[in-house]
Amino acid sequence: MDLGRGEGRRGVGANREDEKQKGQENTALRTCKQSTLADVRAPCYSSEHPCIGATTELARKAALRPQSDLCGTVCPSSRSQRRCCHIFSGAVSPAVMGLDQCVVLAACTAVEPVLKLSPVDPCMNSETADAIIRKALTEEKRVSTKTSAADLVTETDHLVEDLIISELRERFPSHRFIAEEAAASGAKCVLTHNPTWIIDPIDGTCNFVHRFPTVAVSIGFAVRQELEFGVIYHCTEERLYTGRRGGGAFCNGQRLRVSGETDLSKALVLTEIGPKRDPATLKLFLSNMERLLHAKAHGVRVIGSSTLALCHLASGAADAYYQFGLHCWDLAAATVIIREAGGIVIDTSGGPLDLMACRVVAASTREMAMLIAQALQTINYGRDDEK
């Protein structure tokens, strides 16, 4: 931002004020650069604004600052710089940034450090979500079941969820949270107009239990019921997928694009089984798969993590995804990433996505999405907001 703009008109007094303010901000940024990750949460975007934990002016300046500067603010190591702050790319023009966008920007700033520094990083906070998950992946786990014998949870799911929520709540006390394990313990999943974080602490828990290394942390963020950004971290491959409404989708800084395939007979389709295993549900699940194979899809794959399957679609490595029985925390972040990669996310009826309806078709094109929606028979899983 051009801090000198308008100097001539406002005279020397205003100029000194500008210099003073600039000096204070530079001091704040320098403090951040010298501090450890654990310290970064608080001082970078100070708590002067009671609602968002960031001054509107600082948030606007953050939107203008180049990525490398922002990365330096978060963590000076070059390894981290490569993976930091991708959701800032293509940020909304500060001239049109209203309070909602400032909320989003402040939220973007906060989320990545909570997720994703590696244990070998000199700025490491040993309590980051990905470090906890990667360490626990190969260890013995205490496993419990939830809605069915195939719906698993471990102490690490709880630990990571608690960590993410407590870090974010400290920064944003007025925000709401919808999170998988809290919901399993009876918390209501209601998406209001308030800023809301939608969290899956470990997506692919069954993989995690079996040490199958396809596991992710997924965090979506909505304001006024609109999904604003999503971050999905593939813990074992250290891939950070990010998408911000209007700002594009990225994986470790590389722009994501869907394949653009329209023809189901040339498609690689991904799905997940879902937790119900009663004979009627399994029959419908298998028959849906059979219908797509009869339509001559090249293949149908099940990888055990709906968020990472959706990221494959966003990156063009698959052409479509469908599922009955996934939840809002499986979908929230991925939906933004796919849309920003040029893809489509709709309800299995062919209508608009209903985040709480526990069903989805996502595809590289609308044509492909509609072909799949027409082929599917519905499996009823109820709604997240009615449980």
Task: Just list the catalytic residues.
Answer: 180, 200, 202-203, 205, 330
Pick one of 112, 181, 200, 354: the residue that binds ligand IPD (CB under 6 A).
200
Q: What share of the chain is helix, strand, coil (3-state, %, to 5)?
A: 45, 20, 40
Between 57 and 151, CB nearer to ligand IPD: 151
What sign does the CA torsion over 308, 314, 316, 320 have? Answer: positive
3-state class (DSSP) for residue 218: strand
What is the spatial distance between Cα 312 and Cα 334, in angstroms, rounded to a whole number?
10
Which of 306, 335, 348, 365 binds ligand IPD (CB under 6 A)? It is: 306
Does position 220 bind ligand IPD by CB under 6 A? Answer: no
The CA distance from 172 to 120, in Å, is 29
Determine if 273 is a binding residue for ligand IPD (CB under 6 A): yes
Residue nearest to ligand IPD (CB): 272
State yes or no: residue 326 binds ligand IPD (CB under 6 A). yes
Residue 141 beta carbon to ligand IPD: minimum distance, rounded to whole angstroms = 13
Residues in the chain: 387
Which residue in 333, 141, 120 sits closest to 228, CA to CA? 333
CB of 91 vs ligand IPD, minimal distance in Å: 30
Owner of token pair 């027409």: 374
Element (H, E) at 222: strand 216-223
* Beta carbon of residue 108, minimum distance to ligand IPD (angstroms, whole number): 23
Pick between residue 128 and residue 271 the one whose CB is nearest to ligand IPD: 271
Size of the site for ligand IPD (CB under 6 A): 16
Q: Judged by CB, which is closer to ligand IPD: 72, or 230?
A: 230
The residue from 55, 125, 205, 288 that contacts ligand IPD (CB under 6 A) is: 205
Residue 234 interacting with ligand IPD (CB under 6 A): no
Distance between CA atoms of residues 9 and 156, nearest Å: 59
Interaction between residue 137 and ligand IPD (CB under 6 A): no
Closest to 86 (Cα-Cα) out of 102, 66, 101, 103: 66
111 or 179: CB nearest ligand IPD: 179
- Choose the binding region for ligand IPD from 136-144, 201-209, 348-356, 368-376 (rule: CB under 6 A): 201-209
Nearer to ligand IPD by Cβ, of 126 and 377: the residue is 377
Q: Work out whether 330 is an interface residue with ligand IPD (CB under 6 A).
A: yes
Question: Does residue 304 touch ligand IPD according to CB under 6 A?
Answer: yes
Angstrom CA distances, 184 to 178, 181, 231, 318, stand at 11, 5, 22, 31
Look-up of token digits 């001054």: 55
Is residue 214 involved in binding ligand IPD (CB under 6 A)?
Answer: no
Q: Does 348 bind ligand IPD (CB under 6 A)?
A: no
Calpha distance 159→312 (Å, rounded):
27
H helices of the chain, where? 7-34, 37-40, 56-64, 67-74, 78-83, 99-115, 129-137, 155-171, 180-184, 205-209, 279-294, 306-314, 328-340, 366-375
**Given 154, 305, 335, 364, the residue binding ligand IPD (CB under 6 A):** 305
CB nearer ligand IPD, residue 156 or residue 205: 205
* Residue 273 beta carbon to ligand IPD: minimum distance, rounded to whole angstroms: 5
d(CA 217, CA 168): 15
Contacts of 207 (CB under 8 A, 6+ apart): 213, 214, 215, 304, 305
Site string for ligand IPD, 156-185 (x = CB under 6 A): ------------------------x-----
Choose which of 158, 327, 339, 359 interacts with ligand IPD (CB under 6 A). Answer: 327
The residue ranges that bind ligand IPD (CB under 6 A) are 180, 200, 202-205, 272-274, 304-306, 325-327, 330
